Every structure is written in C-alpha cells, then in structure tokens.
Structure 1
Amino acid sequence: MALATLATVIWSGNFIIADAMARSIPPVQLAFWRWVIALCAVAPFGVRHLRREWAVVRAHWKFLSCAALLGVTLFNTLIYTAGRTSPATNMALLAAASPLVITLGARLVWKEAMGPRRWAGAALSLVGIVVLITRGSLTTLLDLHFSSGDLWMVAAMTTFALYSLMLKRKPAGLSGLSLLLATFGLGTAFLAPAYAWSLTTQGGFPVHVTTVSALLYVGVLSSAVAYFCWNKAIATVGVGRASVIYYLEPAVVALLAYLTLGEPINTPQLASMALIVIGVALSS
C-alpha cells in the first residue's frame, strides 16, 4: 500500500504541473516529451531485463500494445487536453470517480472481494472529496456546469481504469522494468504521429527553466517512478485495494496547491481531508 500511496502523491503533483503548463505547452507535446524522458529514465535499468525476457515480450505484444495505448498514449494526453477547457473543480470531481470504477471493475471482472467495510470506506472518502473540492459550499456544488472538456476527463479516467484492470493479468515472466520499458516505448511511438501534427499546426513551446523542470517532473517522477510503484502495488495487493489509495489524490492536490500556489484551505476542507484518510484506512 505504501507504493500505491507514493504513486498517488507523485501524480497529485502532476495535476499542479498540468494546470501550470496548460497554456505554455500544447497537450500532445507535453505528453510526448513526458514519455520520451520517462523512456530515457527507465532504459538504463530496464534494457537488461527486456533482453532477457524478449521472448515473453514478443509472445504478449498484443497485451503490451493495449496497455501502452491506454496507460501511456491516451491517459495523460486526455488529462492535459481536458485541463485546457475543463475547470479544476470538475476535473477533480471526475477523477474521484476513477477508484470507484476500478473497484467495481475488479469485483465484476476479476471477482475481487468487496466487503461492507470497503464500501463504507469508499463512500466516506467520496463524501470527503466532494466537501474538499466544493469547500463545503452546497451552492458551489449546485452551480457546477459541465463543459465539453469534461468529456476528455471522463475518457481519461476510463482509460486509467482499464489500464489498471489489465495489470491484474500481467504476463508471467515479465518483470516490472520490462513492462515499463515496453509500454513506454510503444506508447511513445503511438504518440509520435499526433506529436508531428501538433508541431506542424500549433508550433513548438518555449524552452526555459520552468518548462524543462516541469517536463523532468512529469517524465521522471510522474511516469518512471509513479508507474513503477503503481504497477508493483497492483501486483502485490490487487487492483481493488490499490485503487482505494487513489482517493487520497484530491486531498494531496489541495495541500500541494496550498504549499506551492498559496491557495487557501478552510475548516470544512480540513475536516474533509480527515474523512478521506479515514475512508481510505477503512477500505484498505
């Protein structure tokens, strides 16, 4: 569970980066360079494993291609696209539904047990997330308006749920590093045509300390480190239990926004964070 928590904390920082870079780097280009950097970060550690397990990789190329398409090519590209038109509140609310979708999928597809305590914990976490995002204001919740960008976020959460469910059937004999290197490589290749189109129609982006730092964060931490931790967590405790930790993400995002961007946190939000933590503890 510690690995799932670490992945969630790192991905929370990714939302801050996505918001900060929404107007600086086109979504497809941000996603493409993220995975190029991730590929370079993993390659020195994974090449030896990939060579040793090449027969397994070739035998399961369909599985790896599908995982790469969902978890690498589409997921974050859709989030970055949603971030340009969808309000942060809407994105956070829609992201909060992802663990529930994964948990239901694990129950229906993989027959993972879901006891009353896990359902109660999930419900408590969801309540906490709604209070956190709306700052305890019923008016804010009732005044929510959904835009076309929210459909991109729904698509992103769906691809992440499918990717997580797929990991339950990771081919035997395929190490975590080989899985990362293969999916990162394939996912980047799938993104290349869209990157070429974006570069041609939208132009490049300014290269300076801020953009390079953002790319290094999302490439090394949010991709190489976080994906390794998430994949390992699912292999260790199951997709249902690991996904519950994802409920922590809105609380961590709020804390990071407070620490880095100076966004205020009120008393209802602090109480909601406690609800989220208690709910995750019950569920996991």
Structure 2
Amino acid sequence: MKNYLGPMYLTLAASIWGGMYVVSKMVLAIIPPLELVWLRYLVALFTLVICGFATGQSWKLQRKDTLLISFIGLIGYFISIWAQFAGTQLSSAQMGAMITSATPAFMVLFARVLLKERITFRKGLSVLLATIGVFCIIGVGNTGNSSQLGGMILGIAALTWALMSVLVKRVPSSYSQLVVTTYAILVATIAMTPLVITQVDVVRFQQVMLQPLVWGGILYLGVVSTAGAFFFWNKGLQMVDATRAGVYFFFQPLVGTLLGYLFLGEQVGIGFWIGTLLILMGVLLIVKEPS
C-alpha cells in the first residue's frame, strides 16, 4: 500500500486542479487574475497555519534551506500560478490545457539536469501516450481565437511549474510538507502584495466582495485547490521520482473536461474517451515500473 501512496497524492492533487478550472472560470469573470491569486493565497495561508499549529508542526528552517523554499514560492506559486490565470484569461481554457500539458515533459528534462534522474524508455513512452491523450481530449485544432500573448504566458506557466516541482525534490525530507507549502505560499503572497495594492480598484473590490459567488469561489480555491492540493502534490513528490510524478499531472485536463461536461454543459466526443484511455495507459506504465 505504501508504494501507492505517492501516486494517490499526486492523482488527488491533479484532479482537484481539474475541478479548479470550473470554479475559476466563473470567478475570473468578476476578479482580475492577480487579485484572485492573492486572495486565494491569503485563505490558503490561514488554513495551513491553523493546520500546522493544530498538528504541532515545527516551523524552524535551516538557513541553507530558506533560499530553496523561497525559490519554490517565487517560481511555482507566484510566477507560474499568475501566468496560468493570466494566460487562460487572454486565450482560452482549451489553449490553457494544451500548453500546460507540456509540464510533465519539462519535468523530465529538469529532473535529468538537476536531479540526474535516468530517462527510461518506459517513462518517455508514458509521457508521450498521456500527451497524445490530452490532445485528443481538448482537440488540437479547436483552440478558437486564442491570443498569441496568452499562449506565450501559458508556456511560462508550464515551464516554471515543472521547475518548481523538481526543486521540491531537493528539499530535505526531514521537513513537513505542510510547513514547506506554507512558507512557499507566504513568500509568493509577500511578492505579489505590492503589485495588488498598486493595481486594485478599492471601490470595485468592495462591491465584488459582497457577491456570494466570489466568496464561495475564493474559499474553494484557497482551502481545497491551494492549501489541500499543493500539500498533496508536494507530499506525492517526496515519494515518487520527478520523471514519474509528471505523468499524474495529466489528470488535471481529464478531470477538468469531465466536470465541464457534467456541470457546465460542455460537449465531449469520442476524442475524450480515447484520450482518457491513453492517459490511463500512460499512468499505468509508470505505476507498474519498478522504482
């Protein structure tokens, strides 16, 4: 059972992020990307700190590890998440799913360079199958009038999230991932606060904060898809090789498309089921590969 805990954590995190697109799509129509990420992190920090003290976590960090955790916060939780929201807003949800699906491939490359992990034939085949599966689900030629700028920003999101995921593997396992996640989100929140303060329209902000949809969406994004999913992703990364872990990221567009069909009335065709099968085949190859 212990061998399957890492894959379970990674699958759960990616599935939660798939559902996040349904919620964020509605909230982004009211709140700009940077403000939404900032509010999401404030809620997540409050949740993680309470959980940390309730479980008696040690908050002490070694000085040599502080810089690494700060990089994780800046690269992954600030730059990558902002780019994901901004790129999706400028282009389309399908374009966002297509470009961010390159994340596992980038993880394989970063893991080879930074962690010296070996790229086996089985790992490469699993990434290829899952990538083709994502293209089948979202439709390669069905991206609409997506902005080139949005596409470039989404590319930055995929690249930086992959780098962050590999850097997490370099954090000593003696630290609780709840503590690491909390500090990383704190760094990201501090970094984006000056930008939010200079850009926010106070009157409009006060008005939209009165809407139940906004509060409900922010609570879900902060508690479930940030505090919960970031913790599960980092915990899973502790237990699985970075090159193997990247494949589980493909559950995000799979679950997002399925929930869009169930709750938003978005249509899915035969490509969805073919893509789902290919993704599951890719994941099965990785799960069954000896560590």
TM-score, with normalisation over the residues of structure 1?
0.91
- Counterpart residue type for residue 157 of structure 1: A
Q: Which residue of structure 1 aligns with residue 200 of structure 2?
A: 199
Q: Which residue of structure 1 aligns with residue 180 of structure 2?
A: 179
Contact 1:79 1:152 in 2 (8 A): yes
Contact 1:53 1:173 in 2 (8 A): no
Question: Residues 105-124 of structure 1: matches in 2 within 5 Å?
Answer: 105-124=110-129
* Superposition deviation, residue 139 in structure 1: 5.3
Residues in 1 aligned to 2:88 and 2:56: alpha-carbon distance in whole angstroms: 35
* Superposition deviation, residue 22 in structure 1: 2.3
Aligned mate of 2:228, from 225, 228, 238 = 225
Question: Residues 43-122 of structure 1: matches in 2 within 5 Å?
Answer: 43-47=49-53, 52-56=58-62, 58-122=63-127
Identify the range of structure 1 (103-112 vs 209-218) with the bigger mean alpha-carbon deviation. 103-112
* Superposition deviation, residue 246 in structure 1: 0.6
Residue 247 in 1 paired to residue 253 in 2?
no
Contact 1:122 1:283 in 2 (8 A): no
Task: Figure out how many residues of one structure are paired with residues of the other and give that number.
Answer: 279
Change (3 A) 1:12 1:49: same
* Superposition deviation, residue 202 in structure 1: 9.2
Q: Which residue of structure 2 aligns with residue 29 of structure 1?
A: 35
Structure 1 residues 54-73: Cα deviation after superposition (integer angstroms, max 9, x where no partner): 242x4422112111111222
* Superposition deviation, residue 120 in structure 1: 1.5
In structure 2, the gaps of 5 or more residues are: 1-6
Question: Residues 15-26 of structure 1: matches in 2 within 5 Å?
Answer: 15-26=21-32
* Superposition deviation, residue 45 in structure 1: 2.1
- Counterpart residue type for residue 178 of structure 2: L
- Counterpart residue type for residue 104 of structure 1: L
Residues in 2 aligned to 1:50 and 1:184: alpha-carbon distance in whole angstroms: 19
* Superposition deviation, residue 100 in structure 1: 0.8
Structure 1 residues 189-246: Cα deviation after superposition (integer angstroms, max 9, x where no partner): 1111011022148942612211111101110111111011111111111222111101
Q: Which residue of structure 2 aligns with residue 209 of structure 1?
A: 212
Residue 129 in 1 paired to residue 124 in 2?
no
Change (3 A) 1:251 1:116: same
TM-score, with normalisation over the residues of structure 2?
0.89
Q: Which residue of structure 1 aligns with residue 281 of structure 2?
A: 278
Residues in 2 aligned to 1:139 and 1:176: alpha-carbon distance in whole angstroms: 40
Change (3 A) 1:50 1:196: farther
Moved over 3 A (4+): 47-53, 138-141, 143-146, 200-203
- Counterpart residue type for residue 186 of structure 2: G
* Superposition deviation, residue 48 in structure 1: 7.3
* Superposition deviation, residue 109 in structure 1: 2.2
Residues in 2 aligned to 1:165 and 1:219: alpha-carbon distance in whole angstroms: 23
Contact 2:16 2:252 in 1 (8 A): no
Contact 1:90 1:146 in 2 (8 A): no
Residue 260 in 1 paired to residue 263 in 2?
yes
Structure 1 residues 89-142: Cα deviation after superposition (integer angstroms, max 9, x where no partner): 2111101101111112112321223221221121111111111111xxx7547x
Residue 188 in 1 paired to residue 186 in 2?
no
Q: Secondary structure at the match of 2:52?
A: helix
Identify the range of structure 1 (198-207 vs 2-11) with the bigger mean alpha-carbon deviation. 198-207
Q: Secondary structure at the match of 2:116?
A: coil
In structure 1, the gaps of 5 or more residues are: none
Q: What's the Cα RMSD here?
A: 2.2
Q: Which residue of structure 2 aligns with residue 153 of structure 1?
A: 154
Change (3 A) 1:140 1:39: closer
Aligned mate of 2:10, from 4, 7, 18 = 4
- Counterpart residue type for residue 147 of structure 1: Q
Q: Secondary structure at the match of 1:73?
A: helix
**Percent identity among equivalent residues?**
27
Residues in 2 aligned to 1:172 and 1:59: alpha-carbon distance in whole angstroms: 14
